[in-house]
Amino acid sequence: MNKELDQYLDGELDGADLQPDVKQEAEVWNAFLRDVRESGAQGAPVGLESLVLNSIQTEKRSQWPRIIDWWIDPHAIRIRPLIGLAAAAVLAVIFLLPKDAVVPVEPSGAATTVVDNEVVYVQFKLEAPEAKSVAVAGDFNEWVPEVMLADPDGDGVWAGRLKLSPGVHRYMYVIDGSHWVTDPYAERYTEDGFGRQNAVIAITGGAGARSLAP
């Protein structure tokens, strides 16, 4: 339907404002509406309802356009703030918690390693009184010296615990961000291929109790 005509029939436009061709069509509509009003019809003609419903059914859209529309049209979901916060907290724990977080050393220093299932907490220590910072880097963290040891009492002994999985790990200490040093107290060493030695940790976990094949 012509937009101008539509607005006229809705009472938004005055008949005088219509274009001549639209005015002509508007008069036809006016006559029709007048006839309807004068006929005094109380309800829809018999059979009109089924005619309309049949018409709608024939216009029923196939499945695929409706599926596509569902993916494209905006939707709204209802969410309880409490559940939303809980979900956000879970996601934060999963994505933001550092995997190689250093666990502070217990003051007693009684245990060097704590086995929790197949994860082992390894305590690293280095005596470096002149150091401003000490980090540990190894094949377990792609040699990024970001696992910082701490010296809370300022006695020059830097320490920290790191969660490692069972296996053979190589590492070095990094003093003041750039000075790589081999752990002088490591039990094992291996050549690093660059003229220095990496310290080696062998963590057996539960497999350590297995007997060797004769």
Sign of torsion over alpha carbons 203, 206, 209, 213: negative
What is the amino acid identity at position 98? P
The contact pattern for other proteins, residues 48-87, with x = CB under 8 A and - = no contact, is: ----------------------xxxxxxxxxxxxx-x---
Cα separation, 9 vs 23, in Å, equals: 11
Nearer to other proteins, 34 or 196 (CB): 196
Nearest to 125 by CA among 101, 88, 150, 152: 150
Does 110 contact other proteins by CB under 8 A?
yes
Cα separation, 151 vs 125, in Å, equals: 10
Does 203 contact other proteins by CB under 8 A?
yes
Q: Which stretch binds other proteins (CB under 8 A): 14-22, 54-62, 86-94, 187-195?
A: 187-195
Q: Which stretch binds other proteins (CB under 8 A): 9-17, 42-50, 99-107, 108-116?
A: 108-116
The residues pairing with 150 across neighbouring beta strands, listed in sequence order, are: 159
Size of the site for other proteins (CB under 8 A): 65
Q: Which of 3, 40, 97, 185 binds other proteins (CB under 8 A)?
A: 185
Structure tokens belonging to residue 58: 């024939």
Does 168 contact other proteins by CB under 8 A?
yes
Cα separation, 124 vs 144, in Å, equals: 16
What is the closest distance, in whole angstroms, from the C-beta atom of residue 78 to other proteins in the complex? 5
> Please, how many CA atoms are within 13 Å of residue 66, restricted to the half-sphere of its CB?
5
Nearer to other proteins, 5 or 141 (CB): 141
> Which residue, chain included where needed, has tokens 């300022």?
154
Angle 133-136-140 from CA coordinates, rounded to 5°: 155
The contact pattern for other proteins, residues 113-152, with x = CB under 8 A and - = no contact, is: x-x----x-xxxx-x---------x-x--xxxx-------
| Torsion angle (degrees, nearest 10) of CA 175, 142, 205, 209 | -100
Residue ranges that bind other proteins, judged by CB under 8 A = 70-82, 84, 109-113, 115, 120, 122-125, 127, 137, 139, 142-145, 157, 167-168, 172, 178, 180, 184-194, 196, 200-214
